[in-house]
Amino acid sequence: MTDDADARAPYVAGNWKMHKLRGEATAFALALAARLDELDEVDLAIAPPLTCLAEVADVLAPLGVGVLGQNAHAAAGGAFTGEVTMAMLVDAGATGVLLGHSERRQLHGETDGALAEKLPAALAAGLEPILCIGETEAERDHGATEARLAAQLEAGLANVAAAQAATIVVAYEPVWAIGTGKTATPEQAQAAHAHIRAVLAALVGDEVAALIRVLYGGSVKPSNAAELFAQPDIDGGLIGGAALAVEDFVAIAAAAAPR
């Protein structure tokens, strides 16, 4: 799929998880806004906590930076205390949403079945979904990585028409590499990304699969970003800890620019 890499604009998204108060979020957004002229060849997005999503969107969305929810419910409304709808994210200024992050899967009981409902709900609301998938350390040790990734993709895309799938972004995030300081080697990550693209091709056809951006996530830092992003099937990154500081986020995003 190397030949199609040019068709996919590099993309770097920061996931702030449960960090930053509103003032800190606005300060980051303003500082990033001042650096955007260095990053004009890379698509960027930030996933702030809900409490500061609107503030971040006010600053960054008009400048073309995506603003992502970290999760949302598939239903259009109802008695679901603590949840928000896709439309509520749009109303707050979001342009996309992270779905199936491993912390949601592991700590909050998010299932493949729920994700099969969430992807079409996000698309129907006009949000760009980033579907997060990845194997645990035990799955990798048992040689089950490829099967796990395929199962997560099949479930996530179960109710998405092939024609709509090109607007989905996939984030490959090996669970053992998230927030641990352990990073997949560029070769391990490329092998997983090539497998993901092959599974996507089987699900939605070669042409659409060649357009779907597949990001790597898991302890990406300024020091290792370039070698990961140089792999032919790695189209950018989903960044956790290193997305909390503007300097690091900008350095990582710069490493994704086409060379």
What token pair was written down for 142? Answer: 């048992």
SS3 per residue for the chain: CHHHHHHCCCEEEEECCCCCCHHHHHHHHHHHHCCHHHHCCCEEEEECCHHHHHHHHHHHHHHCCEEEECCCECCCCCCCCCCCEHHHHHHHCCCEEEECCHHHHHHCCCCHHHHHHHHHHHHHCCCEEEEEECCCHHHHHCCCHHHHHHHHHHHHCCCCCHHHHCCCEEEECCHHHCCCCCCCCHHHHHHHHHHHHHHHHHHHCHHHHCCCEEEEECCCCCCCHHHHHCCCCCCEEEECHHHCCHHHHHHHHHHCCCC
How many other C-beta atoms lie within 10 A of the C-beta of residue 96?
A: 23
Residue 179 makes contact with ligand PEP by CB under 6 A: yes
Which window, 2-10, 154-162, 236-244, 248-256, contacts ligand PEP (CB under 6 A)?
236-244
Q: Which of 57, 84, 86, 238 binds ligand PEP (CB under 6 A)?
A: 238
Do 189 and 225 form a contact (C-beta atoms < 8 A)? no
Q: Which of 128, 139, 173, 248 binds ligand PEP (CB under 6 A)?
A: 173
Active site residue 101: yes
Closest CA to 66 of 92, 91, 93, 88: 93
Residue 110 makes contact with ligand PEP by CB under 6 A: no
In the stretch 198-217, what mask flags binding to ligand PEP with x, by CB under 6 A? -------------------x
Q: Which among 101, 103, 110, 193 is annotated as catalytic?
A: 101
Which window, 19-27, 36-44, 48-56, 218-226, contacts ligand PEP (CB under 6 A)?
218-226
Active site residue 173: yes
Residue 240 makes contact with ligand PEP by CB under 6 A: yes
Q: Which of 157, 239, 252, 255 binds ligand PEP (CB under 6 A)?
A: 239
Q: Which is nearer to ligand PEP, 69 or 240 (CB)?
A: 240
Q: Which of 92, 133, 220, 256 binds ligand PEP (CB under 6 A)?
A: 220
Residues 41-70 that bind ligand PEP (CB under 6 A): none
Q: Which of 52, 178, 234, 255 binds ligand PEP (CB under 6 A)?
A: 178
Shortest distance (Å) from residue 240 CB to ligand PEP: 2
Bridge-partner residues for 148, per DSSP?
Answer: none
Burial class (CB in 10 A: 0-12, 13-18, 19+), 244: middle
Which window, 53-61, 77-85, 206-214, 233-241, contacts ligand PEP (CB under 6 A)?
233-241
Residue 130 makes contact with ligand PEP by CB under 6 A: no
Residues 3-32 that bind ligand PEP (CB under 6 A): 15
Active site residues: 101, 173
Residues forming contacts to ligand PEP in the complex (CB under 6 A) are 15, 173, 178-179, 217-220, 238-242
